[in-house]
Amino acid sequence: MVNPSGAECAFYYEDFQRGSDRQECRAAKNPRSAVWQPSDCKNCPVPAILAANGSPYLELSIFINPRKLIIGRRVTAEAWCSLHGPIDGDPHVGCPECNAVADDLLRALFDEP
Ligand code: SF4
Ligand SMILES: [Zn+2]
């Protein structure tokens, strides 16, 4: 679904039909995070991560820093692989173990006589 900032985001949900007025971020699961607001989408790294990484095993949640009132709210993403656990590196690149498996498969394909 297209989020309030105009980017495609699989975690965004809205329903304005039949008198409904509902907007949700389904990546906002961290209980220590500030409460999500639609304006947080414009600072969120998730749409770019999803565009860069199409792994079906990629899981994401966001954290909104509630204490950055002077310089604005900061949204960060936590990524993990449902097969291999937390992703410590750049989530745009994805899970190193899944990438290694994909590399091995490609190598095996191209090394076939
Ligand atoms: S805050 Fe981020 S993850 Fe949540 S709906 Fe907006 S763009 Fe998507
Ligand atoms: Zn993985």
Residue 6 placed within a domain? no
Identify the residue whose C-alpha is closest to ligand 1 atom 1: 41
pLDDT in tens, 36-73: 999 999 999 999 999 999 899 999 999 998 765 566 78
Query: 50 CB under 6 A from ligand 1?
Result: no
Element spanning 49, H or E: helix 46-52
Does residue 54 belong to any structural domain of this protein? yes
The band of 33, judged by pLDDT with boundaries at 50, 70 and 90, is: very high
Residues in the chain: 113
Least Cα distance to 96 among 76, 81, 108 occurs for 81
CA-wise closest residue to 3 among 57, 53, 40? 40
The whole domain housing 27 covers 12-111
- Counting residues of the chain whose pLDDT is more than 90, the rounded percentage is 75
Give the Cβ contact number of residue 45 at 10 Å.
Answer: 15
- Predicted confidence at residue 72, as pLDDT, reads 75
Pairing of strands 12-15, 22-25: antiparallel
pLDDT in the model for residue 113: 59
Number of compact structural domains in the chain = 1
Cα–ligand 1 centroid distance for 75 (angstroms): 9
The predicted pLDDT at position 13 comes to 97
Ligand (nearest to CA of 94): 2
Helix, strand, or coil (residue 31): coil
Q: Is residue 95 part of a domain?
A: yes
